[in-house]
Structure 1
Amino acid sequence: MMRKLILGFRSKYLLLYSPLSQKCQSNPDKSLLSLIPSSFAFSHDRACSSTPKQEAKTSVLSNYLISTLKFSKSRALTVTNQYSYIKSLEKPEKTVLFFKGVGFSDAQVKYIASHMPSLLFASVEKTLKPKFVFLQELGLSGPRIGDVISRNPNILNYSLDRSLKPSVLLIKEVLTSDGKNRSEEQVKDDLCRILMRSNRISSSKSNLEANIDYLKSCGVCGSQLSVTLLQNPGLFVLRKEKILQLVKRALDMDFTMGSRMLVYGVLTLSRLSVKTLSGKFEVFGAFGFSKAEIVSMFRKSPIAFHTSKEMLRSKLELYLSTLGIDKTLLVQHPVILSCSAEKRVVPRYRVVEKLKSLGLLSKGSSFYSAMCMSNENFLDKYILRFEKEAEELMLAYNGQLVNTSEKKEVS
């Protein structure tokens, strides 16, 4: 009851003695409601008068990003709005000077600032320098450290002692203990490649270590482990459940634990969803391949399934219909599907067919071996050793001779 009386008294007091009520009393013809628009106008004027001051504060950073770091106006505005509370350029200027002082190019500094603007406001002494010192002690100095940080600036966001240092040292251990006897320079180059290819590889040692241990239990160890780490470091930062799922998918396609092909199956499946892989199976099926044949091809050469459905369909049409290659050859050697049709398969096919027409190719010659050997070896074995026909064979190789076989001409 007492609370209601106090609230009622305060309301009456405000109504009687507020500036608006006094104006109403001096001019009875004006109601209180008629004065409300002027109150809104007053509030609006105050808001507008404060806007230029706010713009003046934020435009300092915006101008700096545009004039010094060559940001586009739109990107500068985005960053400025994100850090509207920044009133001084002291930290951004120190950070930029630090990056340039360790040898970063203007383009690298711009990329880092644009993709990880929070680093512009980090403490050089407490946050940036200690991480650079650690990386430099590993030998990642000069162009190497510039390449790593500009490609993966997220590294500088991780805690040095809890994440960055233990993770990077673990990666280095994998590289130096895989039996490949890398030189010190090779270790540094490989370490840089891994750090540049995954922005999360140094985020958590525990997750990285758990995935390494699990892959080792599947038979992926030694050089296979380091090669996998180089090819797809992102695989090592997946959740454990995700890796278990990928391994199960590989086992369902007749890969076996301990097989040297298992890791290549897992790597390919990590890039292909169940739906995408099913779509590629359908393409093979349309050309008469059975499911067992397709699974066998995948197990022998997972890389052959990296190509898009459209490219896969185009290659199968070319090899089976235009060139008349036996389907059995592709089932036995699916790696041919991963070769470039334009640069390798078609030119070599022309030479092989020309040699057949001239009766110069032995019966034991394998089309598969002709596809898979190096360019130098192919030229020596299939062209240069036939001195009289070498010029004609070279013309065929370059597509300047009409195919003499009964099959369609291949351009």
Structure 2
Amino acid sequence: MITGASSSDIVRIVNSSPRLLRRSLENHIVPAYQCAKGFLQSDKKTIACVKRFCFLCQSGLPENVKLLLDNGVSHSNIARLFHWWPSIICSFDLLHTVEELKELGFDGSTSAFSKAFLAKRSATKAQWDEKVETFKKWGLSDEQILETFKKHPFCMLVSPRKINAIMDFWVHHLGLDSLDLARAPGILQCSLEKWIIPRASVVQFLISKGLRRKDAGVYTPFVVSEKLFVEKFVKGFEEHSSDLIKLYEEKLNLADGRNDIQLV
């Protein structure tokens, strides 16, 4: 059964995908809806999903889900894909991607697999190759790029332009090794202006005052939570806390084009 959809929901769905009216209710629409609901766990979430991706109910969704399950992709991984970007599950040639990821060493039962699957299906071969070449430009080998991808698959969702911008700041402004970013590739998903530069300014201040070695946990300040960063790196040095707070606030305000951000 499909329950909970309002008249306006149905009108919106049909207007967005009028071809849906050509599909059999029993053979296509209901099976696809029930398949999606099995992973999204509620009518409310499923209806919201169908409103965003109307073609879910006119595609071979159940068949694609069965293909993934039959080839070792766990239920939890498929559920993640439904929450992140369900249209990927409706695309063609899924088996090729599954086999490719397995050859790279990914396990269909681990959460990393769903992230890698999304990254692979979100880029064309040309786009993927461009990102690989961008990493190589900064000194990473094929093996190191693969390890970086396996460690944090979403790093391959970052555009070459952003990779270049962060690498340039990291290497040329901070004087650090590009391989440090390969060890903590999640940093590449952070905002350069709103996250990396403000934190780097604090770290450089601490180094200049002899309060931190340049090689001490190079990437740690960039991966901890905002709360922990402020407590440990901004307010953790009592003698310099007022200067650090002012510096950090200035950089955050500059990034946001504001002048009212204050640490409490």
Deviations 1:134-163 (A, max 9, x none): 75xx22338766775666665555432222
Deviation at 1:216, TM superposition (A): 2.4
Q: Does 1:140 align with 2:5?
A: yes
- C-alpha separation in 2, matches of 1:139 and 1:232: 22
Q: What corresponds to 2:74 in structure 1?
A: 221
C-alpha spacing 1:379/1:307, structure 2 compared with 1 (3 Å):
same
* Counterpart amino acid of residue 221 in structure 1: S
Cα gap change, 1:199 to 1:388, in 2 (>3 Å): same
1:197 partner amino acid? R
Q: Residues 347 and 247 from structure 1, CA distance in 2 versus in 1: closer, same or farther, beyond 3 angstroms?
A: same
Q: Match for residue 208 of structure 2?
A: 357
Aligned counterpart, 1:208 = 61
Q: What's the offset of the Cα at 1:372? A: 2.2
Is residue 112–residue 150 contact of structure 2 (8 Å, CA) maintained in 1? yes
CA distance in 2, matches of 1:370, 1:150: 49
2:53 alignment partner AA: S
Between the two structures, name the one with larger relative contact order (CA 8 Å, sep ≥ 6). 2
The 3-state SS of whatever aligns with 2:58 is coil
- Let me know the Cα RMSD of the aligned residues: 2.9
2:114 partner amino acid:
V
* Paired amino acid for 1:141: S
Deviations 1:27-66 (A, max 9, x none): xxxxxxxxxxxxxxxxxxxxxxxxxxxxxxxxxxxxxxxx
SS at match of 1:261: helix
- The count of aligned residue pairs is 252
1:144-198 C-alpha deviation (Å, 9 max, x unpaired): 667756666655554322222221122112223xxxxxxxxxx344213421332
| 1:152 and 1:196 in contact (8 A); partners too | no
Q: How does 1:192-203 map to 2 (within 5 A)?
A: 192-203=47-58
**Is residue 154–residue 199 contact of structure 1 (8 Å, CA) maintained in 2?**
no
Structural mapping, 1:107-122, within 5 Å: none
| Structure 1 residue 387: Cα displacement | 4.1
- Correspondence list, 1:9-408, <5 A: 135=2, 138-141=3-6, 155=20, 158-176=23-41, 187-204=42-59, 207-239=60-92, 242-361=93-212, 366-399=217-250
User: 1:327 and 1:194, CA in 2 relative to 1: closer, same or farther beyond 3 A?
Assistant: same
Query: 1:202 deviation in Å?
Result: 0.7
Aligned to 2:257: none
**2:77–2:110 contact (8 Å) kept in structure 1:** no
CA distance in 2, matches of 1:352, 1:149: 54
Does the CA contact (< 8 Å) of 1:197 and 1:233 recur in 2?
Answer: no
Aligned-partner Cα distance in 2 for 1:360–1:142:
63
2-side partners of 1:246 and 1:336: how far apart?
26
**1:229/1:322 Cα in 2 relative to 1: closer, same or farther (>3 Å)?**
same
CA–CA separation in structure 1 for the residues paired with 2:180 and 2:132 = 18
2:9–2:51 Cα contact (<8 Å) kept: no
Q: Which runs of 5+ in 2 are unaligned?
A: 252-264
Letter in 2 for 1:310: R
- Which one has the largest radius of gyration? 1
Normalised TM-score (structure 1):
0.54
Contact conserved, 2:181 with 2:219, CA < 8 A, in 1?
no
Deviation at 1:256, TM superposition (A): 3.9
1:256-281 CA-to-partner distances (Å, cap 9, x unmatched) read: 44443222212111111222211211
Counterpart of 1:220 in 2: which secondary structure?
Answer: coil
CA distance in 2, matches of 1:148, 1:382: 50
How many percent of aligned residue pairs carry the same amino acid? 24
Residue 259 of structure 2 is matched in structure 1 by none
Question: Are the equivalent residues in 1 in contact too, given 2:23–2:58 (CA < 8 A)?
Answer: yes
Change (3 A) 1:163 1:373: same
Quick check: 1:348–1:370 contact (8 Å CA) kept in 2? yes
Return the offset for 1:342: 0.9
